[in-house]
Structure 1
């Protein structure tokens, strides 16, 4: 994506996962960039609230979908530390804009990851519960059923296993 933006004549100041900082540009250039990004399945996020919401989502997705020890940390502490902002203000903004809580978004991401692991059929439910930092298989099963309407074992037996795209959560 970096080279595509440079082709548009943009001077890039910083490039990070899902985020690019450029020198000041005109509204016309913003429109051109937005159209160009759409062709690649991306969108231009220009206001501070939207950028912060996007950062929260990106951090949660990274936390859930990367297998590492960070999943053992408290979500509110993790987000506050990463974004250097008070969690209650992050939570209020997220709820206001997304019409759901950060916690529900986090749970939905975890359940999608559990669905993925169930489909791979390489781990036992006990191993999945441990990997996803659930205190017990029962807790995972209850949360899974609350979100999907199915128990994990029933979900594994379904012929048409519906998973959601990350962007649709």
Structure 2
């Protein structure tokens, strides 16, 4: 679950099946009772119809929690905090960063750093399309060392300069967060 829409879809399925829950957060649900058998299968099928999946595997759950922490940090924070990402993830997930990084790479086929870069570029695209901040302000907001660094990374990922991307607003190549 990486968006508020996903969260609402999960709540809807839980309510439909009358499964009591105490929390539904991005990537994690806390049920008041353990579910088995038919209820579990109905929930799994209901979530699949909405493009979501029920995860039981501890590794997959940790990867999803890692992705959710990164997405919340980059896309939903008021300001990208000035923290070392390895320290942030270790603290947030209560795991050694080396373990998280190795597991993430093994399961997803990409590194945490690359996943962060892809998310930051998607956030830059979003902010460019809103046209409320200058490239300098976006660079500062997302903790890039310079506008040149942001521009270089943006071009490397998208093949376009941020200025050109901004000029062609009809460019429809934004990637859904779930697909990163």
The TM-score normalised by the length of structure 1 is 0.91
2:65 corresponds to 1:65: no
Segments of 4+ in structure 1 off by > 6 A? none
Whose RCO is larger (CA < 8 A, sep 6+)?
Answer: 2
- Residue in 2 that maps onto 1:74: 84
Distance in 1, Cα, partners of 2:157 & 2:26: 29
Distance in 2, Cα, partners of 1:163 & 1:7: 33
Task: Tell me, yes or no, if the aligned pair for 1:129 and 1:137 is still in contact at 8 Å.
Answer: yes
Task: Tell me, yes or no, if the aligned pair for 1:141 and 1:152 is still in contact at 8 Å.
Answer: yes
Distance in 2, Cα, partners of 1:142 & 1:161: 21
- Pairing 1:1-169 to 2, within 5 Å after superposition: 1-2=10-11, 4-12=13-21, 14-22=23-31, 23-158=33-168, 159-169=170-180
Distance in 2, Cα, partners of 1:94 & 1:17: 18
Per-residue deviation at 1:14? Answer: 4.3
Distance in 2, Cα, partners of 1:124 & 1:65: 18
Per-residue deviation at 1:122? Answer: 1.4
Q: CA RMSD in A?
A: 1.8
**1:102-130 Cα deviation digits (max 9, x unpaired):** 00000000000001111111111111101
- Structure 1 unmatched ranges of 5 or more: none
Per-residue deviation at 1:88? Answer: 0.3
SS in 1 for 2:133: coil
SS in 1 for 2:137: helix
Distance in 1, Cα, partners of 2:139 & 2:23: 38
SS in 1 for 2:171: coil
Residues matched between the structures, number: 169
Per-residue deviation at 1:134? Answer: 0.6
Per-residue deviation at 1:68? Answer: 2.9
- Structure 2 unmatched ranges of 5 or more: 1-9
